[in-house]
Amino acid sequence: ETDILAAFRVTPQPGVPPEEAGAAVAAESSTGTWTTVWTDGLTSLDRYKGRCYHIEPVPGEEDQYIAYVAYPLDLFEEGSVTNMFTSIVGNVFGFKALRALRLEDLRIPVAYTKTFQGPPHGIQVERDKLNKYGRPLLGCTIKPKL
């Protein structure tokens, strides 16, 4: 109840042990970095770092593993879905130690979900503003930038 739990499907590069790949995912998606940061000495990073606590092979799949990672709630800004997802999946998918990586599951403690305030009003207000009813409302980014 004090950690966000993530399950990643990990395919390590040849020669990279699955335990090392899982630990690398945990580090890179929490406090790890590829460079020295002067602020590292200002706080204890152990309090904030993600920990890969279990790895198991994916049945029927060669060289694929599920890496279970626990992230302490203190790592995240309260009430920010953006901060949470950016921290967990924002930079880790291009990691060179891995051939492939996919977030399979995410478990968020109830105490953390209660920090999300939600939208200031419901869908009906949005539909009334847009005069759009009976269909989904979608938002997207237009590419290329116009």
Q: What is the set of domains in the chain, with CATH numbers?
A: 4-118 (3.30.70.150)
DSSP 70-118: EEEGGGS-TT-HHHHHHHHHSSGGG-TTEEEEEEEEEE--HHHHTT---
Question: How many CB atoms within 10 Å of residue 2?
Answer: 10
Q: CA torsion, points 35, 90, 53, 48, in degrees to nearest 10?
A: 60
Enumerate residues 6+ apart whose C-beta is below 8 A from 47.
Answer: 72, 74
| This prediction's pTM | 0.74
Q: Residue 17 has what pLDDT?
A: 95
User: Cβ atoms within 10 A of the Cβ of 62, count?
Assistant: 7
Angle at 116 between CA 114 and CA 117, to 5 degrees: 105
Output the pLDDT for position 111: 92
Give me the tens of pLDDT residue by residue for the chain, a chain 146 residues long.
889 999 999 999 999 999 999 998 998 887 655 445 445 555 566 666 789 999 999 999 999 999 999 999 988 899 988 889 888 887 777 778 899 999 999 999 999 999 988 777 888 998 999 999 999 988 776 666 55
